C-alpha cells in the first residue's frame, strides 16, 4: 500500500482560516451526509443481511425498498409521545439528545479529502481539526455513554437500569483498549491530528505497518458502538429491550437509533482515517488527478462503505457473547496485548531513528519476539493439557455415576438404553400393543 501523493495534504495551519459562511456550509454538508447516511444505512443493513439470509428485505416502499427508512422515520416522528408516570421527565428527555449530539461532534474531525476549491475559496475538506483530534473523538464517545446511563436510570425500570449499567462497564473496558490501540499510530505519525495522520500515511497505510493495532481496534469498535457480538446494553433476550425499554417508538426512540448509527459511522470513519489511508487512493493509483480536488472523496466513501459493510457482515454472522466473556476479553486479553505491542512498536521506532544501532536493535527485538512466542506456545500447551485432564476426570466421574443404580440417591438409567443417540430402536411388529 505505497504511493506518493501529488498534492500537499492539509495541515493544522490550514484550519481556522475560513470565513464563517464557509464553515457553515461545511457544517451543513456534514449534517446532510450523516442524516442521509442514516436513512441509507438502515436500508442497506436490512437489505444486505436479508440477502445473506436468502431473503428479499425491504421491497415495498419505493424502488428496491429505498423509501422504507423514510417511512419508518415518519412513523416514529408522528406517533404519540408517551411518558411513563414514574420517569424523571427532564433526564428522560435529555438522554436521547446526549446520545446524538456528541456523535455528530465526533465525526467533525474526520477528513474527507485534501484542500479543495469551495466557491472560490481554498479550504480543507474537513470541518475542524485539533492537535488532539483523536482524543476529542474518544471524549465524545465517552460523553455519549452518559445518555445511555441516564436513559436507563431515568426510566425507573430495572431492565433499563441494567442495560445502562452494562453499557457503562462495557465502555470503560473497551475505551481503554481502544485508546491503547491508537498509541502505535501516534508513535509512527508523531501527531494526534487526523489530517496529519492521513498525511503521514503517504508511504504505507498503517493497516499494513500496525496490523495488530488495527485488529485490536476492530474488536474494540464493536464494543464501543455496542454492535453484535458486543451489544450487551441491548440484550433483548434477558433485558426485554435494554436501556431503551421504556422509550416508546416515538421521536425519542428515533434519536436513540440515530445515536447508535452515528457511533457506528464514527467508528468506521476513524478506522478509515487512522489505518486505511483516509482519502488517499489505493495502490497502484498514483496519478495526480486521483489525489487532488474532489476525487479523493470517492476513495474515502468507498473505504467507508466497505468498513460499514464489514460491521453488518459480522452482525449477520456472529451471535451475542456472554457478559463475562466480554469483560474477560477486554481486561485480560486486549489491554495486556496492547501494552506489549506498544513496547514492541516503540522499540522498532527507536531502531528506525538510530541508524547506527539498527542491527543490534533488530537482533534484540527478534530475540524478544522468539522468546514471547516460545513462552506463549509453552503456556498454551500446558493449558491444553490441563483442559484435557479436567475433561478426562469429568468423563471418568460421569461413567462411574452412570454405572451406579442409585447415584446420588436417584435412579440413573444405564447408558445403553435404546433412547440414547447412536442406538437404533427395536422395531415393533404391527398389530401389537
Domain spans of the chain, in order of start: 12-353, 357-402
- Supply the pLDDT for residue 408: 52
Q: Which of 13-17, 197-201, 202-206 has the highest mean pLDDT?
A: 197-201
d(CA 377, CA 385): 12
Q: Looking at per-residue confidence, does 307 or 223 come out higher?
A: 307
User: Is the pLDDT score of 138 beyond 50?
Assistant: yes
Question: Could you tell me if 164 and 154 are in contact, meaning their C-beta atoms sit under 8 angstroms apart?
Answer: no
* Residue 306 confidence class, pLDDT cut points 50, 70, 90: very high
Cα Dmax for the chain? 96
- Give how far the C-alpha of residue 252 lies from the chain's centroid of Cα atoms, to the nearest Å: 24
Q: What is the mean pLDDT of residues 75-85?
A: 80
Report whether 137 contacts 161 (CB < 8 A): no
Whether the pLDDT of residue 380 is over 90: the answer is no
Q: What SS3 state is found at 122?
A: strand
- Alpha-carbon distance of 121 to 342, in angstroms, equals 41
Residue whose C-alpha cell reads 498509541 in the numeric block: 183
| For range 179-186, the mean pLDDT | 90
* pLDDT of the residue at 426: 47
Q: Which three cell numbers stand for residue 426?
A: 427395536
- State the pLDDT at residue 18: 82
Query: Looking at residues 256-282, what average pLDDT do you find?
Result: 88
Res 373: pLDDT: 63
Higher-confidence residue: 379 or 316?
316
Cα angle for residues 108, 111, 113 (degrees, 5° grid) = 140
Distance between first and last Cα of the chain: 76
Q: Does residue 310 surpass a pLDDT of 90?
A: yes
- Is pLDDT of 57 > 80? yes
For the ranges 3-12, 57-66, 419-428, the lowest mean pLDDT is seen at 419-428
Does residue 63 sit in helix, strand or coil?
A: helix
CA–chain centroid gap for 20, Å, is 34
66 vs 58: CA distance, rounded Å: 8
Task: Give the per-residue pLDDT at 307.
Answer: 92
- Which of these, 306, 432, 277, lies nearest to 48 by C-alpha position? 306
The stretch 248-263 carries a mean pLDDT of: 83
| % of the chain residues with pLDDT over 90 | 8
State residue 67's pLDDT score. Answer: 87
Cα torsion through 265, 110, 274, 261, rounded to 10: -10
Angle, in degrees to the nearest 10, between helices 251-275 and 133-154: 160
Average pLDDT rounded to a whole number, residues 222-233: 80
Other CB atoms within 10 A of residue 26 CB: 20
Taking each helix axis as running N to C, give the angle between helix 295-317 and helix 211-225, from 0 to 180 degrees, rounded to the nearest 10: 70
- Which phi-psi region, left, alpha or beta, contains residue 169 (left: φ > 0; alpha: ψ -120 to 50)? alpha
DSSP 334: I
Report the C-alpha gap between 285 and 157 in whole angstroms: 55
* pLDDT band with cut points at 50, 70 and 90 for residue 404: low
Average per-residue pLDDT for the chain: 79
Cα gap 115→292, rounded to integer Å:
8
pLDDT of amino acid 363: 57
Residue 255: which pLDDT band, with cuts at 50, 70 and 90? Answer: confident
Amino acid at each position: 500500500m505505497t504511493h506518493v501523493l501529488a498534492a500537499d495534504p492539509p495541515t493544522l495551519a490550514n484550519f481556522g482560516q475560513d470565513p464563517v459562511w464557509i464553515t457553515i456550509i461545511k457544517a451543513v454538508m456534514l449534517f446532510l451526509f450523516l442524516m442521509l447516511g442514516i436513512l441509507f444505512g438502515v436500508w442497506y443493513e436490512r437489505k444486505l443481511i436479508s440477502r445473506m439470509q436468502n431473503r428479499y428485505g425491504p421491497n415495498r416502499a419505493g424502488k428496491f425498498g429505498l423509501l422504507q427508512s423514510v417511512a419508518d422515520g415518519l412513523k416514529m416522528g408522528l406517533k404519540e409521545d408517551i411518558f411513563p408516570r414514574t420517569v424523571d421527565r427532564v433526564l428522560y428527555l435529555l438522554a436521547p439528545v446526549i446520545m446524538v449530539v456528541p456523535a455528530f461532534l465526533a465525526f467533525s474531525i474526520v477528513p474527507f479529502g485534501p484542500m479543495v476549491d469551495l466557491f472560490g475559496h481554498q479550504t480543507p475538506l474537513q470541518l475542524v481539526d485539533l492537535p488532539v483530534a483523536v482524543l476529542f473523538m474518544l471524549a465524545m464517545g465517552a460523553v455519549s455513554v452518559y445518555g445511555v446511563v441516564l436513559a436507563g436510570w431515568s426510566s425507573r425500570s430495572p431492565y433499563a437500569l441494567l442495560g445502562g449499567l452494562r453499557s457503562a462497564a462495557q465502555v470503560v473496558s473497551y475505551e481503554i483498549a481502544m485508546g491503547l490501540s491508537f498509541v502505535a499510530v501516534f508513535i509512527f505519525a508523531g501527531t494526534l491530528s487526523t489530517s496529519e495522520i492521513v498525511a503521514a500515511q503517504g508511504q504505507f497505510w498503517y493497516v499494513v505497518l500496525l496490523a495488530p493495532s488495527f485488529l485490536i481496534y476492530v474488536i474494540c469498535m464493536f464494543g464501543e458502538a455496542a454492535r453484535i457480538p458486543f451489544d450487551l446494553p441491548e440484550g433483548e433476550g434477558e433485558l426485554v429491550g435494554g436501556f431503551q425499554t421504556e422509550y416508546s417508538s416515538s421521536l425519542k426512540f428515533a434519536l436513540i437509533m440515530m445515536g447508535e448509527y452515528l457511533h457506528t459511522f464514527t467508528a468506521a470513519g476513524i478506522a478509515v482515517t487512522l489505518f486505511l489511508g483516509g482519502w488517499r487512493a489505493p495502490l497502484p493509483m498514483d496519478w495526480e488527478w486521483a489525489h487532488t480536488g474532489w476525487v479523493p472523496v470517492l476513495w474515502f466513501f468507498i473505504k467507508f462503505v466497505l468498513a460499514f459493510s464489514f460491521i453488518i457482515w459480522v452482525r449477520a454472522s456472529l451471535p451475542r457473547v456472554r457478559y463475562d466473556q466480554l469483560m474477560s476479553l477486554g481486561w485480560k486479553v486486549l489491554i495486556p496485548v496492547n501494552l506489549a505491542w506498544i513496547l514492541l512498536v516503540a522499540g522498532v521506532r527507536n531502531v528506525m531513528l538510530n541508524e547506527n544501532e539498527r542491527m543490534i536493535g533488530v537482533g534484540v527485538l527478534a530475540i524478544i519476539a522468539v522468546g514471547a512466542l516460545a513462552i506463549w506456545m509453552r503456556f498454551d500447551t500446558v493449558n491444553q493439557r490441563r483442559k484435557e485432564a479436567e475433561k478426562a476426570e469429568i468423563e471418568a466421574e460421569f461413567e462411574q455415576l452412570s454405572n451406579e443404580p442409585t447415584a446420588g440417591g436417584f435412579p440413573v438409567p444405564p447408558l445403553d438404553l435404546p433412547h440414547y443417540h447412536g442406538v437404533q430402536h427395536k422395531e415393533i411388529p404391527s398389530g401389537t400393543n
